[in-house]
Structure 1
Amino acid sequence: MKKLVSGRVALAGLGCVLGCTLGSPQSAQAADMNNYGARAPYTVNQPLNAYSWAGPYLGANLGYAWGSVHNNPTEPSGFAGGLTAGYNWQTGPWVFGAEGDIQATGASDTFAPWKFSNPWFGTVRGRVGYAFNNIMFFGTGGLAFGELRGETFGLSESHTRAGWTVGAGTEFGLTQNLSAKIEYLYVDLANSNFTITGTSNGYRFGLLRAGVNYRF
């Protein structure tokens, strides 16, 4: 009789353990429902390259230009700043875009009787980049245009010329809409004949600048 009672007690204890174990997920679920009111929605994992560079953008930049005037000893240099507008298309990590900018500059230099300055310039360029999520490395190149002004003995002469530009840079996505960039451009404004110098002069310069873009 004692063995029978002991067996029933053991079976009862085993049933209790199994019941508590099987019931614990339901208890946890009930606790989760009580704490949050409802389960959090299921979230699909985002792809590795989740940051999007596609779409139109506007920006501003500030940098420093330094260069030289062909057939003249002057070497105009100074700060440059302006506005940028562009559009990107993205295929996987590859980013293709078109960008234009207009810049005001303080680049100038005086040597003996000659003074040359570059009051403004602009570019229209293509861009090709490779993105690692929110970091993009890119190359760029295209058309450049701008003014070269010469002065001597109270006389002044200005020529607006077209040329070419090429460069490279890195852009960092700070938020989905806002990015910052560091960029280097080499700009060649073609030669033209200046009456005051009696020769052909043109301006070649490098430009290192930083900027921010807002993507719509």
Structure 2
Amino acid sequence: MISKDVLKSMACLLAWMLYRRNTEVAPRESRAYHGTTMQFRHLPALASGFLLSVSAATLPAFGADIAVPANDPWTGFYLGAQAGNLKGTGSDADFCITGALSPVSGCLGGSNNDGVPSGLDVLDNLLDGASAGGYLGFNYRLDRVVLGLEADLNWDHAEGKSHIPGDVTTDTSFGWDASFRARLGALVGERGLIYVTGGPSWLSMDIGSDLCGYFRSEYAGSAVDCGDSGTEFGWQLGAGAEFLLTDNISLKAEYLHGWYGNQDLNLVTVTEGAENLKYSYKQTLQTNVVRAGVAYHFGGF
């Protein structure tokens, strides 16, 4: 059996690593949000680290002689499949024009109108669709508390459109997402579990627009790159409930909110020799996931 001191050390170390990983990454671009300089992007990381620290801090409280049934289903590895609805919101959106080939350079939209005629608006980008995938985790029961770690990988089919001044439409979509989260739960009876969960997350996004055809015609003979894709790093926090149908099979339902910071993807890039023209789209990306899952618990740990 893994000792409580080993588990406490592992949990505290992971909490510290998650905090350092978030605070050492340099921000992409400094922006002022409503006159405050507080780094809100740190809050999910701090909350996830706090969740791990609380998990570790509960271990000494129970002592060494904890009465847990042999082959308890809430201790051991589990493997499952999940599916649900994924929504994304790109807020504070900016449409930016840069490069020597452009007579105007700057950004306009939700956060500023720098260098571009004012009075124009870039609408928030709203994405909606399905998400399905698998997850692998490990639980460890301590009396009425269940501690765990869980990793998942999901295929996403969520799409959305946004409109930019000049009747320009952008098409965006999520391709996949993954996360590695801690879980801290309390048993309800012997078969029910309610829990909170949080940790780092990764999200793949693609973007394109109807600008592509125009620029390929206008700049015939030049190199025109259309659309862009990227993998965003962020944090997920949420809560859920799980119920054991048998000693090996469980059902769960959970909600997760994700923060992915400032995203910057190119709509069109035109290159003529050493000069270029770039149209890009910037936004602050967040997600909401509601899903259900079924898992097989191996037990016997």
From 197, 213, 216, the counterpart of 2:295? 213
Deviation at 1:48, TM superposition (A): 10
**Structure showing greater relative contact order (alpha-carbon pairs closer than 8 Å, 6 or more residues apart):** 2
Percent identity over the alignment is: 29
Verify the 8 A CA contact 2:73 2:248 in the aligned structure 1.
no
Tell me the distance in 2 between the aligned counterparts of 1:193 and 1:109: 16
Worse-superposed segment, 180-189 or 64-73: 64-73
TM-score (norm 1): 0.74
Alignment of 1:1-216 (within 5 A): 52-70=73-91, 71=93, 73-112=124-163, 113-132=169-188, 133-153=190-210, 154=212, 155-196=226-267, 197-216=279-298
Worse-superposed segment, 67-76 or 105-114: 67-76
Paired letter, 1:93: R
Verify the 8 A CA contact 1:49 1:93 in the aligned structure 2.
no
Tell me the distance in 2 between the aligned counterparts of 1:175 and 1:61: 18
CA deviations 1:132-188 (Å, max 9, x no partner) are 210000000000101121111242200111100000000000111110000000112
User: Alpha carbon RMSD of aligned pairs, Å?
Assistant: 1.9
Tell me the distance in 1 between the aligned counterparts of 2:263 and 2:124: 16
Verify the 8 A CA contact 2:80 2:136 in the aligned structure 1.
yes
Runs of 4+ in 1 over 6 A off after TM superposition: 47-50
Verify the 8 A CA contact 1:84 1:99 in the aligned structure 2.
yes
Tell me the distance in 2 between the aligned counterparts of 1:96 and 1:118: 31
Verify the 8 A CA contact 1:65 1:78 in the aligned structure 2.
yes
Paired letter, 2:88: G
Structure with the higher strand share, 1 or 2: 1
Deviation at 1:191, TM superposition (A): 1.9
TM-score (norm 2): 0.54
- In structure 2, stretches of 5+ residues that fail to align are 1-66, 94-122, 164-168, 213-225, 268-278
Tell me the distance in 2 between the aligned counterparts of 1:52 and 1:66: 33
Deviation at 1:192, TM superposition (A): 2.8
Paired letter, 1:174: L
CA deviations 1:112-133 (Å, max 9, x no partner) are 3111111111110000000121
Deviation at 1:89, TM superposition (A): 0.7
Paired letter, 1:160: T
Tell me the distance in 1 between the aligned counterparts of 2:264 and 2:86: 23
